[in-house]
Structure 1
Amino acid sequence: MRRLVIVSMLFSAALPVLAGAQKEEALSLSVATAMQRSINDSVAPRLVFANPAEGDAWLREMSSRLKKKIPDDFMREKLLTAIHYEATRAGLDPQMVLGLIQVESGFRKYAISSVGARGLMQVMPFWQRSIGSSEHNLFDMYTNLRFGCTILRHYVDIEKGDLYRALGRYNGSLGQPEYPNMVLGAWKSQWSWQGGGGGLQAVAYPSR
């Protein structure tokens, strides 16, 4: 596990855009419909906690960790609220999604990879055609997070809950350890809770 932390730290120092060769795959009608419904849900993002105190504690802690990358307080808290909402809505751990964004784009809203993936979660444009429309702007923060979390949830379901393999699919590198290890390393070293402050519990995550 120490190797994962070291890898994560090296990549966070000078982070490239790491979207892989994710390929468009045919979706069944039921899956496509469910994903389209998820994308088109227009509910405003909000923190999803058992009580407001837990939400405030999470937001303060994560905001302090993200301050160097996003100095503006309003934009930083707006982004964190959206990440927490979209991740929770998709049944994903928000801290894991933070680690994924760190690896994918370094929190650069307008990042574009060499293969054309866009935005915070490096969403491939073909997903607009598959589950969205040309009107969806993948550089829009809310749209990008909605697409990214919906797509990763789809891959988790395909892999029957195996996050490690789902991350490989998300990056287009299924079967190769580098990308899943980087995301899991970023999750542990940067975004996981090391204690239970503010009523929050430590995050458990898979390892390889």
Structure 2
Amino acid sequence: MQRRGLLAVTLGGLGGLMLASPAHAGAQIEEPLADAVRSALSAAIGQAAPPRPKFDRIEDRLAYLRWLGEMSERLKRRLPEAQTRIEFLETVWYESRRAGLEPALVLGLIQVESGFRKYAISVVGARGYMQVMPFWARMIGDGHVAKLFHMQTNLRFGCVILRHYLDREKGDLFMALGRYNGSRGRAEYPDKVMANRRHWLMPDQR
């Protein structure tokens, strides 16, 4: 219970195909969804918008630009091409905030799930940066599984799914992360995500 409380408080392209780590690859379990939930998730996936943030205050824009610069430097070894790296970070920020999630948490999850490999495929068939299982494309998307390799599509699905699990678990991040990985109730995966999350916090958040 102590771990769950701590976790809850923290919320505030086609090259060669590579296998993601089988120990932590995404394996969300297909479960029946109520019609209202399915409709809501489909709407969340379908609302297309470019990941370009708008700010009412200059202070918020400057904070975002500081975050973008800091995260770009940290991610340089994993994504060496500058434009790809910036577009990825812009999209992570946009989709995580859109889903009410912390960007550092989403980056930590991506690090565990795919190691920032766009075309990663797990041994159970989960795909892309956030290792989204193909059944989600059928349940709440247009059925085209190949689209899960598209950056914004993958990040949007992953963030919307994690938000869904978090809501289903009534804000319990420990259980929501376990459900995302298909290991609900076990500590290994949530602990690993949260350990990686710390690497993606800004200095004043640590």
Task: Please state which band the TM-score falls in when normalised by the shorter chain.
Answer: 0.7 to 0.9
Amino acid of the structure 2 residue aligned with 1:112: I
Looking at structure 2, the residues matched to 78 and 33 of structure 1 have their Cα atoms a distance apart, in angstroms, of 29
Aligned residue type for 2:176: A
**Percent identity of the aligned residues?**
54
Cα pair distance change 1:27/1:194, threshold 3 Å: same
| Pairs aligned (count) | 182
Query: SS at the partner of 2:149?
Result: coil
Q: Alignment partner for residue 170 of structure 2, among 160, 163, 173? A: 160
Matches within 5 A, 1:126-141: 126-135=135-144, 137-141=147-151
Contact 1:102 1:186 in 2 (8 A): yes
Structure 1 partner of 2:3: none
Distance 1:150 1:102, change over 3 A: same
2:194 aligned with 1:184, yes or no?
A: yes
Amino acid of the structure 1 residue aligned with 2:179: R
Amino acid at match of 2:194: L
Name the residue aligned to 2:45: 39
Q: Provide structure 1 residue ranges, at least 5 long, that are not aligned to the other structure.
A: 1-14, 196-201, 204-208
What's the TM-score, normalizing by structure 2?
0.84
**How many angstroms does 1:135 deviate by?**
3.1
Q: Are the structure 2 counterparts of residues 120 and 20 from structure 1 closer, same or farther at C-alpha, using a change threshold of 3 Å?
A: closer
* 1:66 equivalent in structure 2: 75
Choose the corresponding residue for 2:21, options 16, 26, 36: 16
1:144-193 CA-to-partner distances (Å, cap 9, x unmatched) read 001000000000000111111100000000011000000000001x1112
Report the residue type matching 1:167 in the other structure: L
Contact persistence 2:178–2:186 (CA under 8 A):
yes
TM-score normalised to the size of structure 1?
Answer: 0.84
Question: Within the alignment, does 1:194 sit opposite 2:200 as a pair?
Answer: no
Which runs of 5 or more structure 2 residues have no equivalent in the other structure?
Answer: 1-19
- Residue 20 of structure 1, CA deviation: 4.6
Q: Which string of whole-angstrom CA distances, capped at 9 and with x for unpartnered residues, describes residues 119-151 of structure 1? A: 000000000111011235000001000100000
Kept after mapping to 2: 8 A contact 1:21/1:171: yes
Aligned Cα root-mean-square deviation (Å): 1.5
- Does the CA contact (< 8 Å) of 2:45 and 2:157 recur in 1? yes
Q: Does 1:92 align with 2:101?
A: yes
Q: Hey, what does 1:172 align to over in structure 2?
A: 182
Letter in 2 for 1:92: L
Match of 1:10 in 2: none
